[in-house]
Structure 1
Amino acid sequence: MTEQELLTSPLHDRHEALGAKLADFGGWQMPIEYAGGGVLAEHKAVREAVGIFDVSHLGKATVAGPGAKDFVNSLLTNDLDRIAPGAAQYTLCCDEASGGVVDDLIAYLISDDEVFLVPNAANTTEVVRRIQDAAPDGIGVTNQHRDFGVIAVQGPRSADLLQALGLPTGHDYMAFERAEYDGVPLTVCRTGYTGEHGYELVIPWDRTATVWDALMDEGSALGVAACGLGARDTLRTEMGYPLHGQDLSMDITPNQARSGWAVGWKKPAFWGKDVLSAERSDKPARLLWGLLATDRGIPRPHMQVRSADGDAVGEVTSGTFSPTLRKGIGLALISRDSGLSEGDEVQVDVRGRTSVMTIVKPPFVESHVR
């Protein structure tokens, strides 16, 4: 896809004005980092103060009609009966035949008759297609990808920033509230992808810039930083949060990725239940672990992982330099047959050099989600 064919967010001109380095994310031209700071400074702002991210490339879709909640609950893995209207839930859309992950997404339970879904950008069309194909008469499934912008406000001072705009901040983690800023209706949800206290704002597309500008203006006294998707990746990797297409995919099941906590195993049905239940019973052939470098090596996706004896045991799925730890960290799928577990050392081929890393259980740094 050429640069001219890439979609742009409602904040594209703001990113250009801030000197953002732009790249293709799921068919959208989005900021990796901004001039004057870069990934390390943006990462630090989120861990110590507050950062705002444009994540308008994320998908949006509404499933509505009599019994919409029960319908969605029969398809996606997590159990919507665990939450009440006004709460959101992390869930997975799996393939019925293979159990592979089509996408991971957030489901906002509006009511028994309406569910708002936020899939990943590149997978929105496919997720919507699958749900539309399964929908009975009376249930409508609407792709609203470009109806709403999304701004993530993340960091220990995120509540201070939203309060400065008169927005609600006291609701529980994974709960959402309807609100308004300067005549702009929006949804404030206690969610995020950074491991810090934070919120995500869902805003009408053509009013997203109004809220972004207010956040930047009011946040100047709080140490706010505009943050790109580069910092979002280092932050989520420090938490061990999976990224679809790397740590979850059509070839990597929830069991292998340790995402079984997001599966309602006792539900009567969801896509892929039979094959995933069988895999769970038999134990998956590989498991996702964290890797912490003991030297200067930085793991990257697709690098081979070997045991201390040199046997091939797995592959890195995500990896980066941790700005907090000042070390290389990563996630890797490791064969259960290898017998390797937490605390064991492995070798990673980092561009022809052997780097020694320790198997750990993420998060790599303390989570402050509360």
Structure 2
Amino acid sequence: MKTAYTNTHDEYAVLREACGLLDYSGIGLVRVSGSGATDFLGQVATRGVEFLLEGQSMTALLLRADGTLLSEVLVHCHAGHYLVEIWPAQASEATEHLLARGAAAPDTTVQDVSADHDVLAVEGPASFRIAQKYLPFPVASMGYRSFVTVDRDGQPLTVSRTGVTGEYGYKFFAPAGAGQALRDEFTALGAVECGKDAVDVCRMEVRFASVEHEAADGRATAFDLGLQWMIEPGKEPAGAAEQPRRPVCWVGAEQMTDRPARGTALTASDAAVGVVTHAVFSPRLNRVIGTAQVDAAVAASGQEFAVADSGVALRTISAPFLTATSLDVPLD
């Protein structure tokens, strides 16, 4: 995915106010089939898929052998197989992980099918109007995390409602080579190309955890990112809940003009209490906002800390940081 096509501020405005076009180049797609596919996914992911119906998708996590967080994935239930979708930043390692585990799984075929698809998405309050042009039913009847495969010029096109910004969002899985024509259609309908930096800001604002940034060192657990709710009982890695620090969200003071880097220390009364894990500038809030890991004793909303290298204050808050525009836009 490109970082930006124009600039992050303008692309952010498109995603929050109109319709952005996202190119998921580099996305990981792994096809899991066979009579053992359901059991296999139940073993390698933190949530079972046995109750997933055809046309539905669900999120889960992949963990390394030591319990650290490898990737968040989206599992789509198709007729006769599952399609595991992996965010581009984790696609290489997570795909290798699934292929290695699948090689020893009975009655299961695990295939990397990333090269077989072009994947694009439209995101934003107006994105549903574009999605409607490809659906044979009212877009309002399409539930979140559902998908349908339609015929487009004699080729299959899968449309999935799986937004990642808090706004309306629809992803399109086209056969490899068909993406450019689809992109041209979207732009002709008013979609504007947006990069991953603008998406990252939107994700932070509605508190969708960013594995790419918050688990960048490869040592973070699901508990470190507040994603333990995605682990079914009995699948928790040993000791994961005993971490001495907890994740919090924060808003910087007006004087904070620069984003503190990952790992920047936070203090309270000159005592070190944690570190920044990710920070972005929110145009709508006109503030630097972010996440941090802090000592369990002070991991609560309303706490004030100082950034160690500047002394600028920040305050912890409850997520999300703001309400998405689409919540006030009816699907009609």
TM over 0.5: yes
How far residue 87 of structure 1 moved from its aligned partner, in angstroms, is 0.9
Identify the residue that residue 355 of structure 1 maps to in structure 2.
312
Partner of 1:11: none
**Partners of 1:166 and 1:181 within 8 A in 2:** no
Once the two structures are TM-superposed, the CA of residue 84 in structure 1 deviates from its matched residue by 1.8
1:109-148 mapped onto 2 (5 Å cutoff): 109-111=77-79, 113-135=80-102, 136-148=105-117
Q: Tell me the secondary structure at the aligned position of residue 291 of structure 2.
A: strand
**Separation of aligned partners in 2, 1:102 and 1:166:** 34
User: Would the aligned equivalents of 2:248 and 2:299 in 1 still touch at CA under 8 Å?
Assistant: no
RMSD over aligned CA atoms reads: 2.1
Change (3 A) 1:133 1:367: same
Deviation at 1:364, TM superposition (A): 0.8
Contact 1:178 1:187 in 2 (8 A): yes
Cα distance between partner residues in 2 of 1:262 and 1:83? 15
User: Residues 75-99 of structure 1: CA distance to partner in whole angstroms, max 9, x if unpaired?
Assistant: 1002323432211111110023x21
| Aligned residue type for 2:251 | L
**Gaps (5+ residues) in structure 2?**
328-332
| Among 253, 262, 273, the residue aligned to 1:313 | 273
Give the letter aligned to residue 27 of structure 2.
L
1:285 Cα deviation from its structure 2 partner: 1.7
Question: Deviation string for 1:262-291 (max 9, x for gaps)?
Answer: 11125xxx5xx341xx433xx432211111
Opposite residue 237 of structure 1, the aligned amino acid is M
Do the aligned residues in 2 keep the contact of 1:69 with 1:109 (CA within 8 Å)? no
Aligned counterparts, 1:268-347, within 5 A: 270=235, 273-275=236-238, 278-280=239-241, 283-297=242-256, 298-337=258-297, 339-347=298-306
TM-score, normalised by the number of residues in structure 1: 0.81
Residues 115 and 369 (structure 1), Cα distance of their counterparts in 2 relative to 1, 3 Å cut: farther
- Tell me, what secondary structure is at the counterpart of 1:70? helix
- Deviation for aligned residue 1:361: 2.1
Q: Does 1:91 align with 2:60?
A: yes
Shift of 1:122: 4.1
Give, as a single letter, the amino acid of the residue that structure 2 aligns with 1:302. Answer: R
C-alpha displacement of 1:209: 0.8
What is the CA–CA distance in structure 2 between the aligned matches of 1:236 and 1:274, rounded to whole Å? 27
Match of residue 51, structure 1, among 1, 8, 20: 20
Q: Distance in 2 between matches of 1:130 and 1:31?
A: 25
Q: Which residue of 1 aligns with 2:70?
A: 102
Percentage of pairs with the same residue: 24
After superposition, the Cα gap between the structure-2 partners of 1:193 and 1:301, relative to the gap in structure 1 and judged at 3 Å, is farther
Residue-by-residue CA offset, 1:122-175 (whole Å, 9 max, x unaligned): 433332333333332431111122211211211111111122345653311011
Residue-pair matches, total: 321
Aligned-pair CA distance for 1:306: 2.3
1:368 and 1:253, CA in 2 relative to 1: closer, same or farther beyond 3 A?
farther
Aligned equivalents of 2:209, 2:43: Cα separation in 1: 24
Check conservation: 1:322, 1:328, Cα contact below 8 A. Answer: yes
Q: In the alignment, residue 33 of structure 2 is paired with which amino acid?
A: A
Structure 1: any 5+ residue segments left out of the alignment? 1-29
Query: Counterparts of 2:146 and 2:35 in 1: how far apart (Å)?
Result: 23
* SS state at 2:50 partner: helix
Map 1:1-370 to 2 at 5 A. 30-35=1-6, 38-96=7-65, 98-111=66-79, 113-135=80-102, 136-166=105-135, 169=139, 170-219=141-190, 224-248=191-215, 250-266=218-234, 270=235, 273-275=236-238, 278-280=239-241, 283-297=242-256, 298-337=258-297, 339-349=298-308, 352-367=309-324
Which one-letter code corresponds to 2:163 in the other structure?
G
User: Per the alignment, in what secondary structure is the counterpart of residue 196 of structure 1?
Assistant: coil
1:131 is matched by which residue type in structure 2? L
Closer/same/farther in 2, CA of residues 122 and 234 from structure 1, 3 Å limit: closer
Q: Normalising to structure 2: TM-score of the pair?
A: 0.89
Q: Tell me if the contact between 2:56 and 2:147 (Cα under 8 Å) persists in the aligned partners.
A: yes
